[in-house]
Amino acid sequence: MRAKIDNDWSIEQAADKEEIFAINKKKGVAYKIGTSGKKLNRIELLKLVENYLKLNNFLEE
């Protein structure tokens, strides 16, 4: 599952349904957000990653 947050950031949940990443293609970086024991839907992924990016000052409010 991959979803776009904005022009810079996207999120991806690995095929094994556990590892979740925030990806910035412009900067060529990926941050492991965490793991989940289940497949998250697109809304759950977006909320999780947006909160992470805001907390770590990667994304403005």
pLDDT confidence of residue 61:
55
Own/partner pairs, 5-12, CB within 8 angstroms, 24+ separation:
5/46, 5/49, 5/50, 5/53, 5/59, 6/59, 9/49, 9/53, 9/58, 9/59, 11/45, 11/46, 11/48, 11/49
pTM assigned to the model: 0.58
Over residues 12-22, the pLDDT tens digits come to 877 766 788 88
pLDDT confidence of residue 34:
75
Q: Work out the average pLDDT over 12-34.
A: 81
Whether the pLDDT of residue 7 is over 60: the answer is: yes
